[in-house]
Amino acid sequence: MQPLPIPSEMRRAFRHLYWDVAWYGLLAGSTLAFLTVYITRLGATSWQIGLLNAGPALVGLLFTMPAGRWLHGRLIGRAVLASAVASRIFFLPMALLPLLLPPGAQIWAIIIVTLVMAIPGTVLAVGFNALYAAAVPPASRGEVAGIRNAVLAVVYVASTLLSGFILTRMPLDVGYPIVFALGFVGAAMSTLHVWFLRDVRGDEGIDPDAVRAPLGDHARPGSMRFMGMSVRSSVALRIFSRTKLVLRPEILRTPFGWVIASLLLFHFAQYIPIALFPLLYVNELQLSDQQISIGTALFQALVLIGSLQLGWLTRRKGNLWIMYVGVTGLSLYPLIMAGAQGMLLYLVASVVGGAAWSLVGGALANYLLEMAPINDRPAYLAWYNLALNAGILGGSLAGPVLMYWVGIREALLVGFALRLLAAISIWLAGRHAVPRLRAAAGIVVEVTTNN
């Protein structure tokens, strides 16, 4: 049977979605990839770097559900456009800060700007999933998501290498304004293509097939944190529904509570070393921006390659096995970096971390959708969203404290042990709690795969 032809108007929407993520790749490979490295070179402490990660998580905890209520009843295309403009306009003053303020003031200004922009950014993260679901019919979502991920990876790698080239050949107070200006151009042009989608209407809430797991980087600094393609929101399954969302405590008394507990431990362990990595790269290993950009590009290249293998691997092994292997692989990143003395082990860690994150980033959304009852997904996934942000918040603040107590390399070893423990807990939750969840009366489980 031949697939139905796609109307030209819909194809135009697809093209704008491709250009949107291409320009976002420029933003991610410039400003977002080097922001924590920059404040580290300015002299930021591990506590300030942890606050840069923890702040948006706290905003997510406070504003995700109000954002869903605010979006209810509004034209989704125009609401997403408004939130994109309100959030991304802050990349302009961020590009000017190196020219206007002394180093110490810049650090706090960047932290404050990040917190403020995270408020409309949370609305954007919630709304973009609904916009995507409304603009792309279910039959085309696999193709569109695959193209978007490939475009993002290619542009991200290219812009990261370009940024590293610029920063290596220019002084700090010249190179970083240029790189941050590139990020602002990417943010502005990405928003322009969202403008072309402003008339998209959607009243259906988030369709499971619309949930994307784009190329986020959970192991290293420079995570894509802020926009609709951010680490937190991409696999957080931000909830946007016509129904009022409440956190129902009885869900935690079901076997799904074990799943949430294991993922809370994972995100906590995942973020403990993140504030420590830039300090290790810059202060301990003395890596240049060009060397850091090579590692970042290598990481993302492995994410792309691994993502292309995810479909057949999911069909053969299942989402639980992929999660277990992927989180185990992610635990090796801080272990390798704890023993690193130069560029070689940094590159090895980038390869291992990229391959591992391709598994976790691709399987996490499907794993959650597989475990949550189809007829009650918003309430179940709301608990995951809470656990995710709580894990980010707790881990980002605990990492600097741990480093103060035991030292940076020892803290990385603790991060390795906790990530490995999280992998084991995810496996046990899947093997023991989930079968009881599937057998519970009235619960139907849907198994989803990446194609």
Q: Would you place residue 409 in the very low, low, confident or very high pLDDT band (cuts 50, 70, 90)?
A: very high
* 340-349, 384-393, 429-438: least confidently modelled range: 429-438
Report the C-alpha gap between 124 and 5 in whole angstroms.
31
Report the C-alpha gap between 402 and 415 in whole angstroms.
10
pLDDT of residue 140: 78
Report pTM: 0.81
DSSP state of 4: P
**Fold for domain 9-212?**
Growth Hormone; Chain: A; (1.20.1250)
Query: Pick the residue with more confidence: 153 or 110?
Result: 110
Encode pLDDT of 340-357 as tens digits.
999 999 999 999 999 999
Residue 434 pLDDT > 60, yes or no?
no
Contacts of 105 (CB under 8 A, 6+ apart): none
Encode pLDDT of 288-327 as tens digits.
999 999 999 999 889 888 888 877 888 888 889 999 999 9
Report whether 302 contacts 431 (CB < 8 A).
no
Report the C-alpha gap between 366 and 315 in whole angstroms.
12
pLDDT of residue 56: 85
Query: Pick the residue with more confidence: 370 or 94?
Result: 94
As a whole number, mean pLDDT of residues 252-281 equals: 91
Q: Would you place residue 72 in the very low, low, confident or very high pLDDT band (cuts 50, 70, 90)?
A: confident
Q: Would you place residue 181 in the very low, low, confident or very high pLDDT band (cuts 50, 70, 90)?
A: very high
- CA distances from residue 442 to 38, 128, 369, 438 in whole angstroms, order as listed: 53, 32, 16, 9
Residue 257 pLDDT > 60, yes or no?
yes
pLDDT of residue 62: 83
Residue 334 pLDDT > 90, yes or no?
yes
Residue 224 pLDDT > 70, yes or no?
no
Q: How many CB atoms lie within 10 A of CB 253?
A: 9
Instruction: Looking at 136-230, list the stretches that DSSP marks H as alpha helix, in order from N- to C-terminal side.
Output: 138-169, 172-195
As a whole number, mean pLDDT of residues 431-448 equals: 52
Q: Would you place residue 373 in the very low, low, confident or very high pLDDT band (cuts 50, 70, 90)?
A: confident
pLDDT of residue 378: 66
As a whole number, mean pLDDT of residues 53-69 equals: 81
pLDDT of residue 338: 95
Residue 336 pLDDT > 90, yes or no?
yes
Report the C-alpha gap between 406 and 310 in whole angstroms.
38
Encode pLDDT of 87-139 as tens digits.
999 999 999 999 999 999 999 999 999 999 999 988 888 788 778 878 888 77
For the domain 213-220+242-451, what is the CATH code? Answer: 1.20.1250.20
Q: Would you place residue 7 in the very low, low, confident or very high pLDDT band (cuts 50, 70, 90)?
A: low
Residue 261 pLDDT > 60, yes or no?
yes
Q: Would you place residue 207 in the very low, low, confident or very high pLDDT band (cuts 50, 70, 90)?
A: very low
> What average pLDDT does the structure give for the chain?
82
As a whole number, mean pLDDT of residues 152-171 equals: 92
* Residue from 46, 107, 52, 42 nearest 409 by CA: 46
Q: Would you place residue 253 in the very low, low, confident or very high pLDDT band (cuts 50, 70, 90)?
A: confident
Q: Would you place residue 179 in the very low, low, confident or very high pLDDT band (cuts 50, 70, 90)?
A: very high
Same fold, 9-212 and 213-220+242-451: yes
Query: Pick the residue with more confidence: 56 or 90?
Result: 90
DSSP-based three-state secondary structure for 67: helix
* 1-10, 108-117, 205-214: least confidently modelled range: 205-214
Residue-range domain boundaries for the chain:
9-212, 213-220+242-451
